[in-house]
A and B are shown apart, each in its own frame.
Chain A
Amino acid sequence: MKELKDLQIGESLEDVTLSPVSRLDLIKYAGASGDYNPIHTIDEEAEKAGLPGIIAHGMWTMGNLAKLFTPYYEEGFIEDYTIRFKGMVFLNDVITLNAILDDNKEEKMKFKVNATNQDGNEVIKGNVVLCKV
């Protein structure tokens, strides 16, 4: 694993591709987060809401994306994490997480982050600012 201090602007952290989204993933996230909105776990409720099926919690995807930075906590912590929800994540989607170093100052590193689905569409995008410790 490359150390953050060796990363150049424009370079990515190592991408992570998640296993296909499963119902159990979303049930677990509902339980762990306390977000029991039924469109994430119950087919009939998702359909009633006009969706083709259950969708992942946006916060599940956002939570996953943060793990790109977890190995680097000895070098810095996430000071700002800004996400815009762009598209829905459905069962069996394969999500890839990506972070590109955008700016590097003495105390802070700024990354552009996104998660894309198997069709290459962005489902969430935003920025992470790491505060160097």
Chain B
Amino acid sequence: MLKHGIGKRSNKVKNTVERGAVKKFAEAIGDLHPIFICEETGKQSRYKNNIAPPTFPRVFDYGTIEELNLPAKGLIHGEQIYHYERPLMVGENINCYSEVKDYYERNGKSGEMGFLLLKRYGEDLEGNLIFTEEQVVIITEAVRKEMMV
């Protein structure tokens, strides 16, 4: 049912690594380290800037993949993988998009489960890759039935 979505991509969306958003995020994960929030510490650091925590890309807008209509409820987050070429700098602009990497179904304890692999990308404005984020989303049989209605 979701198989036809494999390979589909969203359009690129420009995002900014906003200083206030980084601070709020760092606070929410209990990590108000000066490398994230203190301008002077950032300047003195080897990155010459404040950076964002590695799980920050969660806040970005990755656009919409057409035909991929996931329910808002009942999804299980199985795995999460980040890869970075370098840390994200506070204040920089990032082009983000997402892609359906794979979809398959397996029989499990609670019926037939669907496994959706979503991959997200963040590039600088010249098109150089900065990070990728991969997510394994598990879709239970109950939710899949609802989606087919």
Contacts and interface: CB of A to CB of B under 8 A. Distances in A.
A29 interface: yes
Nearest to B23: A32
Contacts of B81: 80-83
Nearest to A35: B58
Contacts of A81: 54-55, 81-82
Interface stretch (A4-12, A68-76, A114-122): A68-76
Interface residues of A, number: 37
B11 interface: no
Interface stretch (B30-38, B99-107, B112-120): B30-38
Given A49-B74, A78-B54, A29 B29 contact: yes
Contacts of B21: 32
B128 to A, nearest CB: 16
Give the bracket for the number of chain B residues in contact with chain A.
20 to 34
Contact of A67 (B30, B72, B79): B30
B119 to A, nearest CB: 14
Nearest to A124: B80
A84 B79 contact: yes
B115 to A, nearest CB: 13
Interface in B39-82: 45-47, 51, 53-55, 58-59, 72-74, 76-82
Nearest to A34: B59
Given A59-B77, A85-B78, A32 B28 contact: yes
B77 A85 contact: yes
Contact of B25 (A32, A58, A70): A32
Contacts of A32: 21, 24-25, 27-29, 59
Given A25-B28, A63-B25, A70-B35, 5 more contacts: A45-B73, A63-B28, A70-B53, A78-B82, A80-B81
11 contacts: A31-B28, A37-B73, A59-B58, A63-B53, A66-B29, A67-B53, A70-B53, A73-B33, A73-B46, A81-B81, A83-B81
Interface of B: 21, 24-25, 27-31, 33, 35-36, 45-47, 51, 53-55, 58-59, 72-74, 76-84, 86-87
